[in-house]
Amino acid sequence: MKTILKKLSPGVRSLKTQLAIYFIPVALIPAIGVSYYATRAFEETSQETLSRRAQSERDVIVSEIESKEKIFFDEARLHTKTQKLLTALSHKDVSQAVQIVNNYPPGIRARLFTQEGVFWTKRDRNVSDPQIPYISKEGLRRVRAFNETIERYFSSDDKGLVTVIRMLIRDKDRVYGILEEENMFGVKEFAELKRKRGCELLFLSRDFGSMAGSYMLSKDEINRVSQRAFQVPASGLWEGSKEATYVHLGEERYATFLYDMPGVFGRIKRWGYLGVFISMNSVDTTSARVQKNLIYVTLILILAFAVWIFIFANRIVEPVERLVLAMKRIKNGRVEEIPALESPYEIQYLIHAFNDMGRNVISNKKALELKVEELRKANQEIKTTQTQLVHSAKMISLGQIVAGVAHELNNPIGSIHSNMQSLESYVVKIRKLVEEYHGLTANLNTVEKARWDNLEKELDIEFILTDLGDLTKSCVDGARRTRDIVSGLRTFSRLDTGLFKLDNINEGLLTTLKLLEPQFKTRITVHKILATLPDVECNLQQLNQVFVNLLSNAAQSIAIKGEVWIRTRRLNQTVFIEIEDTGSGISKENLGKVFDPFFTTKKVGEGTGLGLSIAYGLMEKHQGNITVTSELGKGTKFILSLPVRQLISKAS
């Protein structure tokens, strides 16, 4: 620990430590910034979504209440126009009046009053229905003034909203009495609204003294909700919740929104409050998953930046450290040449200059001239390579990323694959031993044979041998598939290796067909139309990889039986290879992505998505081209074009 602290002190910091101190904050800030921005964006989006949903729920709920009240009001109007009711009132026939109101739809409390507002009779007189025996003076004045009134109240037991409708029963200019109807929007209706809308709803009076809804709150919860969730201004001029406030009701967390509840038919804008409670279970689950993923992404970014800084610092510092070491040796009288380093930085020139200082003037001049010529050639090669890199930047960058992973995976996967094959042979031998053992136990006496048979059943030897065979087969298959993926990754990351020489393309195609013969078997007919071709300057091993990828895809695209055509031809100094199949084809939306790395339309475990991207990179390396045409359900055709001679010779 003291050594680390000593290196970090300003006076003794090494160049490598200094670079790390400079670059680590630069690497951390973007990673943390991206994570913070993503978190904030998700929270704002969730809040906006909740707000829009709450407003939508409010509009639907208010519309539902108003629709019910409109129906109640229209029904009451029809009741007052009934001729039988007018006749009963005019003759003061109580029994006929009771019979008429008893025929009203269930759920309506109907009462009849005289024109002076004195109670006369009601629906179902045997049912207890506490009611004052008259209409209040204010209520009587209003119904006389407007002929009909409608009001909404909270029920006394807080189980619903009560709509009270009063209408004059009249014929022309004569008033016979007053009809009062009560309709309850209660527990059943609230439960139905909750089921339809998927949220809790609560109606509250302006003073929070009365309530009704799908979720009934205790007094303590009312106080807590009114203080924390709704925060109603003292003026009472509430415009509705803009943002959600989160409260716990029981064991569940809710996003709560409060809106003004208008009176009947909108005559009173602020009759009460409507509270919308949206459960946060699904939102909280999604938020936790997003936050967890963001933490992983942030850690991966930080780790990637740290690795990059380490590699970058080493590449810069290593040549400097060698130069400093050589200078210390010169100070002690030892002149040694520093080995040249492959480095793109100016330090390479310093090393060469330092080495030249230890030679005489003639050798120095000659070395300098040689170096200039080397630099000129290197510059020309860099320009040529740069032109190729521009067209395959995606391939090369991805190759650099996966090269290390493929190298690290190759050895352990190879060991697993080899060991599992050995294990398969061991299982066969053990099974053979058990079979021999069965032959020997047949000669034992009855008691001994029964004892060995019971032991074998107790240990379940037959199941173990069968299951062990299945397990080893599964492991071998998994190791093989992983090895194939690693092989593809290694090939993809090494597109710039291999020597070019003159080879026969037709022979390469025939060799590839022979290797893939088990895939074709008898279900696929291969038509070979091979023209006489000149030897082509190429790396035939790499081209064989292209042929393997295309022909394997053709075989896999044919589900049952089909045909494959392989054609070659020459046009001037260009050779063309066509591979066509009658398989399932490729959709138009996927046709432009078939050469992208890791893109595949196969099922999970059946393809890596690297085959066509590798083929594309190899064709570019050969200064050739690859195109594809396809029709879904009819087949696919790949056309490869190669120059007979490379424009810039790559032959050995």
Whether residue 320 lies inside any domain: the answer is no
Domain identity same for 192 and 242 = yes
Domain identity same for 473 and 556 = no
Kindly report, residue by residue over 71-92, the tens digit of the pLDDT.
888 888 888 888 888 888 888 8
Average pLDDT of the chain to the nearest whole number: 76
Report residue 199 as tokens.
Answer: 């949220």
CA-CA-CA-CA dihedral for 460, 462, 463, 468, to nearest 10: 120
Domain stops at, among 185, 208, 226: 185
DSSP annotation of 105 reads P
For position 267, which CATH number holds? 3.30.450
Using alpha carbons, select from 551, 549, 547, 550 the residue that is nearest to residue 539.
547
3-state secondary structure of 512: helix
3-state secondary structure of 364: helix
Domain identity same for 166 and 104 = yes
Predicted confidence band at 562 (pLDDT cuts at 50, 70, 90)? confident
Average pLDDT over residues 416-444: 75
Predicted confidence band at 630 (pLDDT cuts at 50, 70, 90)? confident
Is pLDDT of 127 > 60? Answer: no
Report residue 224 as tokens.
Answer: 């807590």
Are the C-beta atoms of residues 595 and 613 closer than 8 Å to each other? Answer: yes
Domain identity same for 417 and 467 = yes
Kindly report, residue by residue over 30-45, the tens digit of the pLDDT.
767 777 777 788 778 8
pLDDT top residue among 127 and 528: 528
Report residue 187 as tokens.
Answer: 């527990």
For position 160, which CATH number holds? 3.30.450.20
Domain identity same for 507 and 612 = yes
Whether residue 383 lies inside any domain: the answer is no
Domain stops at, among 226, 261, 279: 279
Kindly report, residue by residue over 193-250, the tens digit of the pLDDT.
888 888 888 888 887 778 888 876 666 666 666 555 555 454 444 455 566 777 777 7
Is pLDDT of 601 > 50? Answer: yes
Whether residue 17 lies inside any domain: the answer is no
Number of compact structural domains in the chain: 4
Q: Where are the alpha helices (DSSP H) in 81-129?
A: 83-90, 94-102
Are the C-beta atoms of residues 260 and 269 closer than 8 Å to each other? Answer: yes
Domain that holds residue 407: 393-489
Domain stops at, among 470, 489, 508: 489
Are the C-beta atoms of residues 405 and 493 closer than 8 Å to each other? Answer: no
Domain identity same for 607 and 589 = yes
Report how far residue 544's alpha carbon sits from residue 513's, in angstroms, rounded to the nearest whole number: 10
Among 10-14, 378-382, 473-477, 633-637, which is the least confidently predicted range?
Answer: 10-14
**Residue 560 burial (C-beta neighbours within 10 Å; 0-12, 13-18, 19+):** exposed
The DSSP element (H or E) to which 296 belongs, if any, is helix 281-331
3-state secondary structure of 124: coil
Q: Look at the chain and count its residues.
A: 652
Domain identity same for 569 and 470 = no
Tell me the pairing of strands 562-571 and 524-530.
parallel
Domain identity same for 436 and 474 = yes
